[in-house]
Structure 1
Amino acid sequence: MNINESDFRGIDLNLLVTFLVLYREKSVSVAAAKLFLGQPAVSSALGRLRELFGDRLFVRTAQGMQPTSRADYLAQRLAPLLGQMQDTLFHSPDFDPHQSRRLFTLGMADWVEICLMPPLLARLHAAAPHMRFNTLATTPYQDRELLEQNQLDMALSVTTESAPWLQRSVLRTEAFVVLWHPQQLAHPAPLSLDDYLACDHLLVTYRSRAHSAIDDLLVQRGRSRQIRYTTSHFSALPGILQRVPVLTTVPSVLASAWQTHYGLCASPLPFDLPSFELSLLWHLRLDGDPARRWLAQQIAAVLSLSC
């Protein structure tokens, strides 16, 4: 933005509006009525306009107030500028998803990407054929910072962090489900606690440690489980389950899809563990963005269904 701030020091936007109404109506009294002002106020504004532009601007004649050549020039230039300003200030920008070429950067864990992106892209194939997506693998410990740094447009996250600028919409509530492959383990469902603890486990962790809320809960009960393998990627688990006699615990929406695709067995946890919320997060600066709002609606619609 290349402007000289000092040039605008003595300018009142209302004066420019008054000038354009005077130019259109050619009458102080009519302009005053249109502006819901008294005639003295409009006459005073005209005096300030004459001083500002160094020109009489209007000359009284039998046909009304006639504009000077300077007034004609100003009206031709100011009318479209103020019209554009009015449109910018008081009209929301149009958004046509079918024409949009917007690139959205979304942050999410891979289990969310597995469940969300195939049905979302299928849904948008016709509705927004030119919209593009860049997905970043994020963790609940990164999402707030990445949004604050403007590296993400939105994040799908289980984080409970908050900030004055952080906007949140809960998409769905998830429970945890235990999975195994029937050719590797012959346990009936639902699993007993003893069966659960007798097996080795796969654990997804984002902090490079073989420990989770499940392990905290078991320790409180004087029990423990054996973690055989840790990873930060849920996508690695089905292939391991098909080949190794182990259990893994995953969000219920993922478990439902994997039972169908990989022939896995499923069971509720053999103890109570609080559910968690998957939320859509975005920065307050994008709250009024019609494209972001539209995409958020599409994401919520997809995740309201079973993936």
Structure 2
Amino acid sequence: MDIRENDFRKLDLNLLVAFLVLMRERSVSRAAERLHLGQPAVSGALARLREFFDDPLFVRTRSGMQPTSRAMQLESRLKPALLSIHQAVFEGMSFDPSRSEQTFVIGMPDWVEIWLAPRLFTAVRRAAPGVRLSIVNTDPFRAAEMLERGEMDLAVTPVQAVPAWCRQGPLRRMGYRCVFSSANAPRAGLSLRAYLERTHLLVSYRGAFESAADEWLASRSLARRVVFATSRFGILPSLLEEDMTITTVPEMLAQSWRGLDGLRIAPCPVPLPEIALSQLWLATRDSEAPLRWLRETVGAAAKRNTRGRSG
């Protein structure tokens, strides 16, 4: 049924709220207290209601104000309607994580998941035991597209160009570390010469064998030998065992590998631009309370300090 706007010209929502309070209290003075209004204002509202509905609505008796049959009929239909309006207007403005059973889908590259997911999982379990998290794999080149298609609620990834229909929230910046087998660790530390003497494993989301490190080396007439490229970081530790290979990874990922036997971590001898890790979400969902809570939780988890010594 279409809404006929002219039918509401003589009635506003506040009058209907006043009516439901009068139905509950059966007293103008008590209704005025509940509505934080003066008695004359509530009496005036009741007069307007009577005029609009062409019914007395309430009749004074020895036991107090009694609703008419028309008032009883109105209450049965208006109460659920106003409750629905209240939910539509105010539910998106509040969120109680301790009672929520919502499922959130978050897109991350695998290195972000390895580093961030354990601490995020712990934080969510403590604050929102009924909330479920689904982590899907993405990368900086696909995140905006996956958000637009509704495949995830939030992306946590390095981003460069942000579409106008997305919002970006910076999380933290970080550098790179080199990881290699401790069995073949250079005695004098990882110099540029030792770095170039090794064969390299590279993570590339587009299957390339070059990165910013190769550009810097080429500007100095130097080159490294990349023998393996993959789109996932998780496979790298098993490829580094007992071999003269080396890989350069985000420092937070390297720190998460610190406890793995047989691996050493060292600063990268090639100067590389920092990684700018951000959250990305749809602008149309900017004010959603559940998503705002998720962003705050992700932000707090990402900013926990985990710095340690290079090994």
**One-letter code of the match for 2:136?**
L
Aligned pair in 2 of structure 1 residues 35, 16: CA closer, same or farther (>3 Å)? farther
Q: Which residue of 1 aligns with 2:117?
A: 117
Superposition map of 1:50-129 within 5 A: 50=53, 56-58=54-56, 69-86=69-86, 88-90=88-90, 92-97=93-98, 99-129=99-129
**One-letter code of the match for 2:2?**
E
Q: Which residue of 1 aligns with 2:152?
A: 152
| DSSP 3-state at the match of 1:58 | coil
Q: Which residue of 1 aligns with 2:8?
A: 11
* Aligned equivalents of 1:61, 1:134: Cα separation in 2: 58
Q: Which residue of 1 aligns with 2:173?
A: 173
Q: Is the 8 A contact 1:176 1:250 kept in 2?
A: yes
Q: Is the 8 A contact 2:200 2:227 kept in 1?
A: yes
Superposition map of 1:1-307 within 5 A: 4-6=1-3, 10-12=7-9, 14-18=11-15, 21=18, 24=22, 49-50=52-53, 56-58=54-56, 69-86=69-86, 88-90=88-90, 92-97=93-98, 99-189=99-189, 191-303=190-302, 304-306=304-306
Q: Is the 8 A contact 1:20 1:79 kept in 2?
A: no
Cα-to-partner distance string for 1:184-236 (whole Å, 9 max, x where unaligned) = 343532x2222222221100000011111211222222222111100011111
Cα-to-partner distance string for 1:36-79 (whole Å, 9 max, x where unaligned) = 79x7x9988876x35xxxxx22399999x997643442244224
Q: Displacement, 1:5?
A: 1.4
Aligned pair in 2 of structure 1 residues 43, 145: CA closer, same or farther (>3 Å)? same
Q: Is the 8 A contact 2:139 2:205 kept in 1?
A: yes
Q: Displacement, 1:104?
A: 1.6
Aligned pair in 2 of structure 1 residues 277, 77: CA closer, same or farther (>3 Å)? same
Residue range with higher mean Cα deviation, 15-24 or 144-153: 15-24
Structure 1, unmatched stretches of 5+, are 51-55
Cα-to-partner distance string for 1:136-168 (whole Å, 9 max, x where unaligned) = 111100011111211111111001221333222
**One-letter code of the match for 2:256?**
A
* Aligned equivalents of 2:60, 2:254: Cα separation in 1: 85
Cα-to-partner distance string for 1:82-118 (whole Å, 9 max, x where unaligned) = 2542354246344133x43222211111111111222
Aligned pair in 2 of structure 1 residues 70, 46: CA closer, same or farther (>3 Å)? closer
Q: Is the 8 A contact 1:58 1:66 kept in 2?
A: no
Q: Displacement, 1:299?
A: 2.5
* Aligned equivalents of 1:154, 1:60: Cα separation in 2: 53
Cα-to-partner distance string for 1:267-292 (whole Å, 9 max, x where unaligned) = 22223221121112222333333333
Q: Is the 8 A contact 2:158 2:278 kept in 1?
A: yes
TM-score norm. by structure 1 comes to 0.79
Residue range with higher mean Cα deviation, 72-81 or 269-278: 72-81
Q: Displacement, 1:249?
A: 0.4
Q: Displacement, 1:250?
A: 0.4
Structure 2, unmatched stretches of 5+, are none
* Aligned equivalents of 2:100, 2:72: Cα separation in 1: 40
* Aligned equivalents of 2:74, 2:233: Cα separation in 1: 65
**One-letter code of the match for 2:208?**
R
Aligned pair in 2 of structure 1 residues 60, 237: CA closer, same or farther (>3 Å)? closer
Q: Is the 8 A contact 1:205 1:231 kept in 2?
A: yes
Aligned pair in 2 of structure 1 residues 118, 72: CA closer, same or farther (>3 Å)? closer
Matched pairs, number: 293
| DSSP 3-state at the match of 1:235 | coil
* Aligned equivalents of 1:114, 1:173: Cα separation in 2: 17
